[in-house]
Amino acid sequence: MTSDARGPDGGHVLVVGNNTVDTVYRVPGAMGPDTKGQAESLAVYAGGQAANVAYALALLGRPVQYVGAFGDDDGSALSRRSLAEAGIGLTGCVVVPRCPVHHATVVVDTLTGSRSIVMFKDNRLRLDPSVVTPDLLDGAAALYLDNHEERASVAAATLARERGIPVIADLETLSALTLPILAQVDTLVAPRDVLRELTGESDPEQLVRAVQLLGPHTVVATAGVDGAFGAETTGGVIHVPSWPCELVDSTGAGDAFHAGYLAAFLDGAEFPARLLFGALLASVKCGVGGPRLTPQSARSVSPLAAAEERA
Ligand SMILES: Nc1ncnc2c1ncn2[C@@H]1O[C@H](COP(=O)(O)OP(=O)(O)O)[C@@H](O)[C@H]1O
Ligand SMILES: [Mg+2]
């Protein structure tokens, strides 16, 4: 793939990780074993953690390069088109012949808001570390990893670190490569439950400090409607509540938070303001259906300064 979003002055964010197609059924009442449900609605969205972050950053006006793997079916075309149409560069992406897109089927119980998800990612969609070539980082302002492509993440983070490019990452599951990855990450923004599992700590202060010992100098734990807390190396742990919103769909809230945090970081905002902007973008995401912010919802986001004033 040849599209390139890097301008002559660089400053792009390189994003590495998942892209998916999400098929979402909204069904009143839980689906038990051996039951048939009649859905109220069916919608198909382009999603995937890293792709969602890339898309949100592009909506915020940032130049973005995405590296991930596509199959060659209709879903893959939808996923790829969604990124290309947002102006995201796809140089370095891999297309696997006769391979389906990484797919998620989501069943939302409209009575409780709970959801069940079943996913399939063909093993051929796993990124080889060699796909992250050094030139993709030329002029980059930051590297963002969703950490679903672990071997490629270690390779990309190592390259970025060597060049002094900040590495910002998510972490949704733990594995044998978690510690080598964290050793190369500057800022970790991850769900509180995963960080609890990683450290065995529940107390916010102890949890954040325990993660910092593993590598990242800045750590943020997101906690759904309870908001987020975190700290830099210096300074205490601070908490930002979630912004009130009319909840439509919390899918992708974390990814929107990450994009807001990263955009504010790139704008030179202080740590508390980055958390605020992350939480603001996440709440806006919760107000729209599907895994991503929409162009219209992103336009409704007040700039960072206004967000700070409202807080
Ligand atoms: N119901 C909600 N209303 C408003 N903001 C929310 C809501 N749920 C989540 N958020 C925001 O999204 C952020 C990330 O959500 P979380 O569920 O922790 O991540 P993930 O989507 O990765 O599981 C939270 O820190 C919070 O700011
Ligand atoms: Mg998440």
Model confidence pLDDT, tens digit, residues 18-46:
999 999 999 998 788 898 889 999 999 99
The answer to whether 56 touches 298, Cβ cutoff 8 Å, is: yes
Is the beta carbon of 42 within 6 A of some atom in ligand 1? no
Q: State pTM to two decimals.
A: 0.95
Buried b vs exposed e over 72-97: b needs ≥16 C-beta within 10 Å?
A: eeebbebbbebbbebebbbbbbbebe
Ligand 1 pocket test: pick from 108, 283, 284, 288 the residue with the most ligand atoms within 8 Å of its Cβ. 283
Q: What is the distance between the alpha carbons of residues 119 and 260, in angstroms, rounded to a whole number?
A: 27
- The tens digit of pLDDT for each residue in 295-309 reads 999 988 866 555 555
The answer to whether 18 touches 50, Cβ cutoff 8 Å, is: yes
Q: Which atom of ligand 1 is nearest to the CA of 191?
A: 18
Q: What is the DSSP letter of 103?
A: E
- The tens digit of pLDDT for each residue in 181-204 reads 999 999 999 999 999 999 999 999
